[in-house]
Structure 1
Amino acid sequence: MNRRLAQGVGDEASVTAVVALGSNLGDRGTTIEAAVADLRTLPGTSALEVAPVLETVALTLHGPDASAPPYLNTVALVTTTLRPAELLAALHEIEARHGRVRRERWGDRTLDLDLIAYDDVHSDDPTLLLPHPRAAERDFVLRPWLAVDPDAVLPGRGRVDALLAALDDGGPA
């Protein structure tokens, strides 16, 4: 684990975290809006920028599944003093409030909140992998992230615009 992560970034230091939001069950739009409102009220959160929502095909463990309910996805940039583990715990609480049940990996869900990046912190802790290990392969993460931050960089992987261009050229889905 990164030393900064173990110690925390600092008692009052604000950092930018990237949170991906997705929903493919229930009233998806209302759920995404409510989750964004919940993010705005997190302790230590001073700013929130949200990308436009886009609809995407469900991605399962075996690949895209057009027969599954489609997802609404977006990305939020959160300026926060919460430490990474605190932010992740808060994201899980928001998911639970919106009916998220963890039955199967990559299954349908009312709400999915993923911590994609937290400043430039790297962590290989299995409970908190940073940056998110599959973010560079996910159009539904990269595209909205780029829309809200044209200069975005995924730590350890490079510029988001270049990662998205690689996907558009036939890279991973």
Structure 2
Amino acid sequence: MADQPVLRAYVSLGSNCESAAAMLEEARAALAALPHMLLGAVSPVYRTEPQEYADQPWFLNQVVELFPAEVWQPCSLVDALLELEVRLGRVRSADPALRYGPRVIDADLLVFGQVRSTDPHCIVPHPRLTARAFALRPLLDVAPRLVVDGLPVSQWLERLDCRVEGDRIFQ
């Protein structure tokens, strides 16, 4: 019997609070502690320009690779990510203008193996992944051969009006 392919999921982490680096570390530890989940590769941390809502501090962003067991599905992982955000102190503003505002932690499911989901609660691949350099650049670090919606991650990144200078991403 041939080995089953290993399921890989990729999660983007971000924070722009005063203790952003510590928040990313806590989020990684929380992901590693999920039952039936192994933490894989972790990208470098990038400093990234805020998107949509510019009047806020720059973010620290990174992508982590996860190896979920068969008990996990995209929506159950999204639920776990939302719980992780609440545990780490994230409070979502009721003001739509602040949707992309400051946050203590953000954890987004980018890709869940080859699974596609149109469930409004857990759209996979992430609906804005291919437009976000702060997710694509670190995703490229941990999954250089990953294909999303028919194109390699590197080609999606090349299509964006962005630049990377060391650990800084401008978009």
TM bracket (short chain): 0.7 to 0.9
2:101 to 77, 95, 107: 107
Please give the alpha-carbon distance, in whole angstroms, between the structure 1 residues aligned to 2:131 and 2:77: 23
Residue 121 of structure 1 pairs with residue 111 of structure 2? no
Deviation of 1:107 (Å) = 1.8
Please give the alpha-carbon distance, in whole angstroms, between the structure 2 residues aligned to 1:48 and 1:86: 19
The change in CA–CA distance for 1:14 and 1:148 in structure 2 (over 3 A counts) is: closer
- Say what the alpha-carbon RMSD is for the aligned residues: 1.9
2:61 to 62, 70, 73: 73
Please give the alpha-carbon distance, in whole angstroms, between the structure 1 residues aligned to 2:137 and 2:129: 11
Q: Secondary structure at the match of 1:129?
A: coil
**Contact 1:22 1:113 survives alignment (8 Å):** yes
Please give the alpha-carbon distance, in whole angstroms, between the structure 1 residues aligned to 2:118 and 2:41: 27
Show structure 2 runs of 5+ residues with no match: 164-170
- Structure with greater strand percent: 1
TM-score calculated relative to the size of structure 2:
0.84
2:142 to 131, 148, 161: 148
Show structure 1 runs of 5+ residues with no match: 1-11
Q: Secondary structure at the match of 2:60?
A: strand
Moved over 4 A (4+): none
How high is the sequence identity, in percent, across the aligned residues? 37
**Contact 2:39 2:64 survives alignment (8 Å):** no
User: Which residues in structure 2 correspond to 1:13-162 (within 5 Å)?
Assistant: 15-60=7-52, 65=54, 67-81=55-69, 82-103=72-93, 104-154=98-148, 156-162=149-155
Please give the alpha-carbon distance, in whole angstroms, between the structure 2 residues aligned to 1:29 and 1:44: 26
TM-score calculated relative to the size of structure 1:
0.83
Q: Which residue of 1 aligns with 2:159?
A: 166
Deviation of 1:169 (Å) = 7.3
The change in CA–CA distance for 1:48 and 1:166 in structure 2 (over 3 A counts) is: same
Q: Secondary structure at the match of 1:167?
A: coil
**Contact 2:39 2:66 survives alignment (8 Å):** yes
